[in-house]
């Protein structure tokens, strides 16, 4: 049971803050220490992963520090997958509103919803 909640060498604040704001938490940790957490990835790959896949990068850090048999690793993995699945339709809807004014002063508003793929 202790290995399920172990934090290893990672700071507990980083693990908790990273669940909600992974990119910001990693940036603050990097600014505070210069290179956090120590790992074998090249700096360019660390930066690109931080930019595009921060939760999976945190899951990788947890995996190399603590292992896969850990609650933190499973949480980060589940949230990373959920973020890819849950955000797919968000930016694909566009609403256009047009207001026309007739000669007698009445206004008419039409709403068009477009699906952008």
pLDDT at 88: 55
pLDDT value at residue 89? 54
Contacts of 38 (CB under 8 A, 6+ apart): none
C-alpha closest to that of 74 among 63, 86, 87, 65? 63
What pTM was computed for the model? 0.68
* φ, ψ (nearest 5 deg) of residue 35: -155, 105
pLDDT of residue 4: 60
Span 85-117, pLDDT tens digits: 875 555 556 667 778 888 887 877 777 666 655
Q: Which residue has the tokens 């669940």?
A: 19
């Amino acid at each position: 049971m202790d290995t399920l909640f172990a934090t290893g060498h990672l700071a507990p604040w980083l693990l908790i803050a990273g669940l909600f704001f992974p990119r910001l938490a990693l940036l603050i940790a990097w600014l505070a220490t210069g290179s956090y957490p120590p790992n074998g990835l090249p700096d360019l790959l660390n930066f690109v992963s931080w930019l595009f896949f921060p939760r999976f990068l945190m899951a990788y850090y947890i995996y190399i520090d603590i292992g896969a048999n850990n609650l933190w690793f499973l949480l980060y993995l589940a949230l990373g997958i959920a973020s890819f699945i849950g955000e797919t339709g968000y930016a694909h809807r566009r609403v256009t509103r047009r207001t026309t004014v007739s000669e007698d002063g009445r206004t008419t508003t039409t709403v068009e919803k477009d699906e952008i793929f």
